Amino acid sequence: MSKVIETSHLCRYFGEGELLVKALDDVSIDVEEGEFSAIIGPSGSGKSTLLHLIGGLDKPTHGEVILAGTNIESMTRSALSNFRRDHIGFVFQAYNLIPVLSTIENIEYVMLMQGVPSSERRKRVFEMLDILGLDGLGGRRPAQLSGGQQQRVAVARAMVSRPNIILADEPTANLDSKTGISLLDMMKDLNVRHGMTFIFSTHDQKIMDRARRLIHLRDGLIELDEQRKEFAA
């Protein structure tokens, strides 16, 4: 299997002087294609920061991120933007939907930019609505949805374009356990069948139970990188 993500000596500091926060401090990890991994750790340990750096949304203070063999530092802004559009699905901790678009429009947004034909778009969107229990909410704007519903839309948006890598920041935090499980089953299915790579940040035991690898973060450092035997192929 090939490495899809590689970080070496990744550091991200915020502020300076007395207020300096080392959100990440010398983090080096490799992610193989088809992984189903979770970054875990207490609040403030740097999970979101790591996901942002991997997705090229933030720039490291030191160190580098290599995506599919390319150092993202060497990519132009628009190349990185296109790479993100075509290869990475993001689920943000604060769902971040586009307020003027309906559920369906939010979900199909990335596919629209990719030029996916409309029949295919509709098919995939309705599949997602079904899986995530969003039937009947397709025409609503984000402001008319509950937090959990918005989170499901955000998950749908990230996955519907079938990127190779999904970076999901606490995707189940606001879901009831039944919906959480069906979402995870769907992700697992995509992972197994299409070889999509998943990296989560989470506190959710259900995710930890299903993850093949647990990366434990504490104070910006990797405390433990745990490959779980029960999932060994």
Partner 1 sequence: MLVAKLAFRNIFRQRRRSLLTGLSMGGGYILLALTISLVEGSYNNIINIVTTDHTGHVQIHKENYLERPGIFKTLSRGSGIETLLANEPSVRSWAPRIYGVGLGYGDEKSAPLSIVGIDPVMERNTTSIFGKVREGNYFSDPVNSDGYYSVMIGYGVADMLKLSIGDEIVLISSGADGSIANDIYRVGALVGSRDSYEKMTVYLPLEAAQDFFSMKGKVHEYAVMTSHPSEAWKLTAVLSAIIDDPLVTVSPWQVVEATFYKSMEADKQGNKVTMGIVVFLICIGVLNTVLMSVLERTKEFGVMLAVGTNRLMVMAMIILEIVTLGLLSCAIGFLLSLPLLYWFTHVGITMPQPIDMGGVIYDTMVGEMGAAIFIIPVVIIVGSAAAVSFIPAIRAALITPLDALSDR
Ligand X SMILES: Nc1ncnc2c1ncn2[C@@H]1O[C@H](COP(=O)(O)OP(=O)(O)OP(=O)(O)O)[C@@H](O)[C@H]1O
Which residues make up the interface to Mg ion (CB under 5 A)? 48, 93
Interaction between residue 52 and partner 1 (CB under 8 A): yes
90 binds, among ligand X, partner 1, Mg ion, none (CB under 5 to 8 A by kind): partner 1
Can residue 119 be called a binding residue for partner 1 (CB under 8 A)? no
What angle, 0 to 180 degrees and rounded to 10, lies between the N-to-C axes of helices 103-114 and 118-131? 140
Q: Would you list the DSSP string of 175-218?
A: S-HHHHHHHHHHHHHHHHHH--EEEEEE--HHHHHH-SEEEEEE
The nearest distance, CB 232 to partner 1, in angstroms, is 34
Is residue 90 a contact point for partner 1 (CB under 8 A)?
Answer: yes
**Whole-angstrom Cα distance, residue 128 to residue 80?**
27
Q: Which is nearer to partner 1, 109 or 126 (CB)?
A: 109
Which run of H or of E encompasses 62?
Answer: strand 62-67
Bridge partner residues of 166 (DSSP)? 89, 198
The distance of closest approach from Cβ of residue 111 to Mg ion in the complex, given in angstroms and rounded to an integer, is 27
Q: H helices of the chain, where?
A: 47-54, 77-87, 103-114, 118-131, 147-160, 177-194, 205-210
Take residue 143 and report the two structure tokens written for it: 């402001």
Q: Is 196 in the site for partner 1 (CB under 8 A)?
A: no
Contact call for residue 86 and partner 1 (CB under 8 A): yes
Nearer to ligand X, 133 or 148 (CB): 148
How far is it, in rounded angstroms, from Cα 166 to Cα 168? Answer: 6
Residues contributing to the site for ligand X (CB under 6 A):
14-15, 21, 23, 41, 43-49, 93
What is the nearest approach in angstroms of partner 1 to the Cβ of residue 102? Answer: 10
Which tokens go with 58? 């933030």
Query: Closer CB to ligand X, residue 48 or residue 197?
Result: 48
Residues that bind partner 1 (CB under 8 A): 52, 55, 57-58, 77-78, 81-82, 84-86, 90, 92, 94, 96-101, 105, 109-110, 112-113, 157
